[in-house]
Amino acid sequence: KVLGDCLRQQQKFDESEQMLRQAVEMQTTVNETAQTKAMTMYHLGECLRQQQKFDEAEQMFRQTLEIETTANVSAASRATTMWNLAVCLHHQQKYDEAEQMFRQNLEIETTA
């Protein structure tokens, strides 16, 4: 996971995506904590978003948000995931859903 994120930070997106996908798969098979899995999935979503693979990034952020909500991850983390999901929705011209997600993000950010 850390290597995949490091590669993403260096804009080595193909390598990063591959590493992060492997990390998500491994974490599923070894029953990693929900928070750790959500973090890895979030980084994969970021990698996909930065490559403008918005449909794939959307799905990854949705899965991340579902885990974060179920695992009671911090509101700040959920808000960040919501914001990135909203950006992906906006890029796909899913404006109503993007607006809803931006509003939920703003609500969390202003109350946290």
Task: Give the torsion through C-alpha atoms of 75, 77, 80, 84, to 10 deg.
Answer: -120
Q: Would you state the pLDDT for residue 1? A: 59
pTM of the complete model beyond 0.85: yes
Whole-number Å distance between alpha carbons of 86 and 97: 7
Q: Would you state the pLDDT for residue 3? A: 78
Name every residue whose Cβ is closer than 8 Å to that of residue 5 and which is 6 or more positions away in sequence: 16, 20, 43
Q: Would you state the pLDDT for residue 82? A: 97
Q: Would you state the pLDDT for residue 61? A: 98
Whole-number Å distance between alpha carbons of 32 and 94: 33
The least confident of 9-13, 49-53, 61-65, 78-82 is 9-13
Query: pLDDT for 12-27, tens place per residue?
Result: 888 888 888 888 888 8
